[in-house]
């Protein structure tokens, strides 16, 4: 064989190898999404996810309005009543972990679709309960659906939206929570005198089933698909978003000077605690455990506290909650509008710190009006902090552990909420009202202050660049564990 023939054979072999190399990798896909104009399908994904969260959140608020009627029908004391909220939140914790694992292992789409179906069915079943045990079980299963839906929706939005609007798209989920509170209060105001607490639970079933039917059409996340080397499906998902082959090629050219990203292994829990990730993980856990003790506890208990502490009629308590939900909408709307200008970190600090300080003011309230005003101002600050942290959470984890990190933090937040809900019933039943307010307020204050030192700013940053160190750290940890280098795509 001549040198010329050998050279031609080598060149042919190199071309064959190059032809086998994938034309897509995570950075190309991320760049293509970030460079894309805002398209109708992108807006559609945001709307579909937000509608699902509207019904998920609405169910949790409806439980708060149902609790006085449940307590009366089943003759429950404060401690036992607290267990109903506790069971819902424990279910949400289980759902966050389970569906987070499913979404990282099997894809976002299956969890994105099934969780809303599970929530809607068992919410309706809750209205059929003829005993406390049945109701606790139904609320636990409802919680599993709700707990899985919210973190998966947040991750879907983070992965489908261009970086320049990610604050707005991720903010679509937390902004619907106070809207859900207002709708739930309005429904309770109308329905409770007519149909009682059971009909409240039936209200969300049909609209939630309609959302399930629509969201089946949303494709799998292109970022998740490309990390699994499912390149044809990745292109189909990008086409769905309105990203053409020409746009993909421009992104390939734009990032070709960068080192290819590692192909990351399936998520494992210890990846949350690599040296690059442990501070972020600890911080997000603080953000979701401590404030949610107060947030979920107050969501469930405000109507009952107004009835029991201040002797107001249930309809008056519901009207107070209508007004409080307007403060919640204002707090979240402020963050939604300004998060891409001011950033997330400042709102998290001011929101949680302010909520903790204001909530301590409940110690000195003596009338229903005073209770209302402190609760309303607390709600404004708390909802601002929660909106900021909901936008922030999926942004600070690399792709392969994004749903795991998000769902773990939110799942632990449900445990915090369950503790807060049960603690309110326990403290209130024991007459330790001042201790109750201190317990709830200090936790929120700690979360706000911790963000000063532990938080980072994520505004406007590309997800892959923001999490580059975390992804590379996970790849190195994988290599150390099994001795196989992480390959690049």
pLDDT for 66-118, tens place per residue? 988 999 899 988 888 888 888 988 898 898 889 888 888 888 888 877 888 88
- Rounded to whole angstroms, the Cα distance separating 209 from 62 reads 18
pLDDT at 26: 84
pLDDT at 400: 77
Angle of helix 368-392 relative to helix 166-203, nearest 10 degrees, comes to 130
Q: Which CATH number do you get for residue 197? A: 1.20.1250.20
Residue 224 domain-assigned?
Answer: yes
Task: Report the alpha-carbon angle 366-372-373, nearest 5.
Answer: 95
**Number of domains comprising the chain:** 1
Residue 12 domain-assigned?
Answer: no
Residue 5 domain-assigned?
Answer: no
pLDDT at 21: 41
Residue 232 domain-assigned?
Answer: yes
Boundaries of domain holding 449: 23-457+465-481
Residue 489 domain-assigned?
Answer: no
Spans of the chain, pLDDT less than 50: 1-21, 484-489
């Amino acid at each position: 064989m001549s040198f010329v023939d050998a050279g031609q054979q080598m060149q042919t072999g190199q071309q064959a190898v190059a032809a086998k190399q994938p034309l897509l990798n995570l950075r190309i896909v991320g760049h293509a999404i970030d460079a894309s104009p805002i398209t109708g399908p992108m807006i559609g994904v945001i709307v579909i996810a937000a509608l699902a969260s509207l019904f998920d959140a609405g169910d949790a608020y409806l439980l708060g309005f149902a609790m006085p009627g449940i307590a009366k029908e089943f003759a429950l004391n404060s401690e036992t009543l607290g267990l109903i909220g506790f069971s819902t939140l424990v279910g949400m914790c289980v759902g966050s972990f389970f569906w987070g694992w499913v979404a990282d292992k099997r894809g976002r789409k299956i969890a994105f679709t099934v969780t809303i179906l599970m929530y809607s069915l068992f919410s309706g079943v809750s209205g059929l309960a003829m005993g406390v045990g049945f109701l606790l079980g139904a609320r636990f299963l409802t919680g599993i659906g709700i707990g899985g839906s919210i973190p998966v929706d947040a991750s879907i939005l983070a992965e489908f939206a261009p970086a320049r609007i990610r604050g707005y798209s991720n903010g679509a989920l937390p902004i619907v929570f106070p809207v859900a509170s207002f709708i739930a209060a309005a429904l309770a105001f109308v329905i409770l005198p007519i149909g009682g607490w059971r009909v409240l639970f039936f209200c969300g079933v049909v609209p939630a089933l309609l959302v399930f039917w629509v969201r089946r059409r949303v494709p799998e996340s292109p970022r998740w698909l490309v990390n699994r080397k499912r390149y044809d499906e990745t292109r189909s998902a990008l086409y769905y978003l309105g990203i053409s082959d020409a746009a993909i090629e421009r992104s390939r050219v734009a990032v070709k000077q960068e080192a290819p990203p590692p192909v990351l292994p399936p998520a494992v829990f210890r990846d949350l605690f690599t040296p690059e990730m442990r501070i972020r993980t600890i911080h997000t856990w603080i953000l979701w455990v401590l404030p949610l003790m107060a947030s979920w506890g107050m969501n469930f208990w405000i109507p009952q506290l107004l009835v029991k502490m201040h002797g107001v009629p249930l309809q008056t308590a519901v009207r107070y909650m209508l007004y409080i939900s307007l403060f919640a909408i204002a707090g979240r709307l402020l963050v939604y509008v300004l998060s891409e200008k001011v950033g997330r970190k400042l709102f998290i600090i001011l929101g949680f710190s302010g909520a903790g300080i204001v909530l301590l003011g409940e110690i000195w309230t003596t009338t229903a009006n005073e209770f209302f005003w402190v609760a309303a101002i607390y709600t404004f600050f708390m909802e601002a902090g929660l909106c900021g942290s909901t936008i922030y959470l999926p942004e600070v984890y690399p792709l392969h552990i994004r749903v795991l990190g998000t769902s773990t933090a939110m799942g632990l937040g449900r445990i915090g909420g369950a503790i807060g809900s049960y603690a309110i019933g326990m403290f209130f039943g024991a007459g330790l009202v001042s201790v109750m307010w201190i317990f709830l307020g200090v936790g929120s204050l700690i979360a706000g202050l911790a963000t000063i030192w532990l938080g980072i700013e994520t505004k406007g940053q590309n997800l892959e660049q923001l999490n580059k160190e975390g992804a590379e750290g996970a790849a190195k940890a994988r290599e150390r564990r099994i001795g196989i280098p992480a390959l690049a795509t």
